[in-house]
A = this chain, B = another copy of it.
């Protein structure tokens, strides 16, 4: 078991009706609020108007139009500018993980004198950030309970993970009813994203009985509840359990004391969505079973056996490799059953830029340190197998 230092100070307000606490929570930080959001779905579901009703008496500025795979330019830069010009006290991010990730970069940039890209790329240390409160409308990233985010820079095809202890949201509002209107496509992609967050931590050399059981339960919960959410989008219990399971995804609690795994699937997928702006969860789902097949070996098979037996209930008396292969097929079949396009071609990616992407991953993502080390040739092969 590995040593660690762990702290997640975020306050979770979970359940329908919790938005009633929004103004009391924001008032802790001040009156000047930067409201950040995406393409307008929060207006369609009435949440935008509801936030304004709840924040009567606050001074609200807006940064709309934050895109999926949120962009440094213009979103982060525009947000930082508003914060500095208007002396914003607190950022209220309303939307999915992209809006919140972008808001974290803004929160750091607002308290920094130089180019915020310095912080995102760790050329400068983040020493302060504006407080962030969020209302999450999509169960997926877990950004609402962690200290990081992913920011894309279009001109360089960079998609960079940025984290700092200052970036934990002060409070996250999780109302499962706000996810009732999430499309089947986004529900499935969110489920795949959250499953991947767990798998990235599960497949490692050194885990514990406690963490394994917690993560296996997380995977089962996501699969059972993800299906239920597609069948009946207004199933409160299913939306709620999916939301909470996602929330734990990236803050470390699933794997405290485990050895580092270096998140190979995210490393590879970041290139796919940086170069092609595809839906992150779909990119992950596509490469996951191909990565599994590629890294399955005498050295790794026992971990896949545990995964197969405990997550899918495969008969533990079968041959080890048979269990492992069944588990990989079950993983693939589950994504298919969720309606996820399971080849890169289906999401618009062909062989043209595979070399370039594999090179980008190999030099930027440190996957030579991963659970199963991956070099540029390995990465390219996994991409090819995913076509």
Contacts and interface: CB of A to CB of B under 8 A. Distances in A.
Interface of A: 1-18, 21, 176, 208-214, 216-218, 220-221, 224-225, 236-237, 240-241, 244-245, 253, 256-257
A2 to B, nearest CB: 7
Nearest to A253: B253
Contacts of A256: 12, 14, 244
A53 B225 CA distance: 53
Contacts of A213: 213-214, 216-218, 220-221
Contact of A18 (B3, B12, B21, B257): B3
Contacts of A15: 1-4, 257
Nearest to A206: B237
| Pairs A-B, 10 closest by C-beta atoms | A213-B217, A3-B15, A7-B11, A209-B221, A1-B240, A210-B221, A9-B9, A6-B12, A214-B214, A208-B241
- Number of this chain's copies in the assembly equals 2
B214 A209 contact: no
Contacts of A214: 213-214, 217
Contacts of A13: 5
Contacts of A225: 209
Nearest to A218: B210
Contacts of A17: 3
Given A7-B11, A210-B241, 9 more contacts: A1-B244, A3-B15, A5-B11, A5-B12, A209-B220, A211-B217, A214-B214, A240-B257, A253-B253
A218 B208 CA distance: 10
Contacts of A221: 208-210, 213
A237 B209 CA distance: 11
Nearest to A170: B7
A241 B213 CA distance: 13
Contacts of A18: 3, 5
A14 B3 contact: yes
Residue among A3, A12, A211, A237 with max Cβ neighbours from chain B (10 Å): A3
15 contacts: A1-B176, A1-B237, A1-B241, A3-B15, A3-B18, A4-B12, A4-B15, A6-B11, A7-B12, A8-B8, A209-B241, A210-B217, A210-B218, A213-B216, A241-B257
Contacts of A9: 7, 9
Residue among A6, A18, A210, A216 with max Cβ neighbours from chain B (10 Å): A210
A7 B5 contact: no
Contacts of A245: 210
A245 to B, nearest CB: 5
A244 B257 contact: yes
Nearest to A247: B256
Residue among A6, A7, A18, A209 with max Cβ neighbours from chain B (10 Å): A209
Contact of A244 (B210, B220, B240): B210
Contacts of A2: 15
Contacts of A237: 1
